[in-house]
Amino acid sequence: MSDNIQSIDRSYGLNADAQQRNRVLRNTYWLLALSLVPTVLGAWLGVATGMTRSLGGGLGMLVFLGGAFGFIFAIEKTKNSSAGVPVLLGFTFFMGLMLSRMIAMVLGFKNGPELIMTAFGGTAGVFFAMASLSSIIKRDLSGMGKWLFVGALAILVGGIINVFVGSTAGMMAISVMAIGVFSAYMLYDLKRIVDGGETNYISATLALYLDLINVFQSLLALLGIMGGERD
């Protein structure tokens, strides 16, 4: 009898864990989709008003890093409260504004809209591929975390240096590296949710959003450098 009770308790615990993981994943996907709305609004506002046009070089980097890290800190502080979602959406609006400068530059090309749609489609393709892999791969990927962090840190340092150097080849190399690292980060973050390692959907959404925005921005930079057609 006691063995049967233990078996029922274990089965109930496994079902509860699976329901929790599915709930976090579902809420993350919904919030991630919602977060794209303020991103688009921020990008549109930035392009329409030109308010970020002057944020080039070191000034732009300072504004971006200060705003981004400030928002990320605020999101982690509020992720367990009702303020977490509005703060996250405010961050995605800010990221749209910061992205608008690159989008405006790409729109200056004759084929600018096509390049933006190609970058968007490529990013969506990477996301769906990583989401599929995260549900198939049974191996624990937690060991990837430290290597991916080192890669992201190298990209950040390289990006800061290239702001002052202004090398096109350096920009291409950083973009290629960013696409690889943040695509892998996407798989890592999705697998954490699937395995129950991430139980807060706001933190999960933040991680995936950063992966997506970095892949999109890097793809757009590459396409602009390699495929931009001037009038």
Q: For 10-21, what is each residue's pLDDT tens digit?
A: 544 446 677 778
What's the CA gap between 86 and 91, in Å, rounded? 9
- CB-based contacts of 36, cutoff 8 Å, min separation 6: 92
Contact between 34 and 206 (Cβ < 8 Å): no
Which residues of the chain have a pLDDT value below 70? 1-16, 57, 228-229, 231
Q: Tens of pLDDT along 64-91?
A: 889 989 999 999 999 998 899 999 999 9
- pLDDT score of 231: 65
Residues 26, 10, 15: CA angle, nearest 5 degrees: 20
168-194 vs 144-165: helix crossing angle, rounded to 10:
150
- CB-based contacts of 46, cutoff 8 Å, min separation 6: 52, 96, 97, 98, 99, 100, 101, 103, 104
What's the CA gap between 95 and 144, in Å, rounded? 26
What region does 165 belong to: left with phi over 0, alpha with psi -120 to 50, or beta? Answer: alpha
Which tokens belong to 95? 């990221």
- pLDDT score of 8: 46
What's the CA gap between 68 and 192, in Å, rounded? 23
- pLDDT score of 213: 95
pTM comes to 0.88
- pLDDT score of 57: 66
- pLDDT score of 74: 94
